[in-house]
Amino acid sequence: MKRSLLLKLISALVVFGAWEIAGRIPVSYAFPTFFESMAALWRMAFDGSLWQAYAETLKPLAIGVVISAITGILIGLWIGLSKWFDWLFSPIFIVMQAAPLAALIPLLVMMYGIGLTSKVFVVCIMAMPVIVLNTAGAVRNTPTSLTEMGRSFQASWWEVILKIVIPAASPVIFSGLRLGVSAGFIGAILSELKITPTGVGDIITYSRSIADYASMYAAIFSIILLAVIFLNLLEKLEHFLFEGNARGYASD
């Protein structure tokens, strides 16, 4: 843990130091220093505008991520366990993952308007394909020897799934969840930039329009920081639920 924390601190110092140097050179008049951006972040947090923005951003993000996680894992399990279901539904999620989301947003706006529903759909379209395909691949590649061993001990079909398949596939399933959540964060901000300027997307759009680049970068940094914290919580949850399957990560 100490080594992991030390490496993370060194990595952060390198990135923030490079950011500060690039802002002082400057590489662009629209690129503020790290300290200017953090000052803007503190100012927005202190006056409450940042919290008001996140109150709007987190609504579609939370709903979309929960729907994508639950539905995506269930569909992925079904695809991984059934060749017929795999043949029928896998191409749909492959196409969803490859489709340019920016081209689909106008269609969602035409069907569902500019409210919460459209933004939730954008988050789901970004997050769910990754979760489904990773879960299906993990289940499909569960060692046959494990499932045969379960059947030889007269385990039922549900017992094989719950006690063998899911624990064996859990590392890849949680990798898919982390990737899906990351994509969901992107979808939430993209929906605010492309559908209606609300929440953190509104801060980014407004700050850019008045050339307040420190606030713009501060808002971008805050959403990245929130995503990193959430992904680390997912990693902790995986270790808690499947302690025997704990493995190393690049962050360790």
- Percent of the chain having pLDDT more than 90? 9
Reported as a single tens digit per residue, the pLDDT across 103-136 is: 777 787 777 777 788 888 888 888 888 899 899 8
Judge whether residue 245 has pLDDT over 80. no
What pTM does this model have? Answer: 0.78
- Indicate the length of the chain as a whole number: 252
Give the integer Cα–Cα distance in Å for 166 and 34.
43
Dist CA 170 CA 146 (whole Å)? 14
Q: How far is CA 91 from CA 53, 98, 112, 178, in A?
A: 37, 10, 25, 22
Q: Please report which confidence band the pLDDT of residue 233 belongs to, taking 50, 70 and 90 as the band edges.
A: confident
Query: Quick check: 164 pLDDT over 50?
Result: yes
List alpha helices for 25-115, DSSP H. 34-47, 49-81, 83-98, 101-112
Output the CA–CA distances (angstroms, integers) from residue 75 to 13, 34, 106, 136, 180, in the order listed. Answer: 41, 43, 27, 8, 14
Give the pLDDT confidence score for residue 142 in this predicted structure.
Answer: 79
Q: Is the pLDDT of residue 243 over 70?
A: no
**Given pLDDT bands bounded at 50, 70 and 90, which one contains residue 1?**
low
DSSP classification of residue 141: T
Please compute the mean of the pLDDT values over residues 231-250 and round it to a whole number: 67
Output the six-digit token pair for 108.
Answer: 């969602």
What does the pLDDT average to over 125-154? 83
pLDDT band of 249, cuts 50, 70, 90: very low
Q: Which CATH superfamily is domain 60-239 in?
A: MetI-like (1.10.3720.10)
pLDDT tens track for 190-200: 888 877 777 88
* Segment 56-91, tens digit of pLDDT: 888 888 899 899 989 999 998 888 888 888 888 888
Helices 49-81 + 199-209 axis angle, to 10: 130
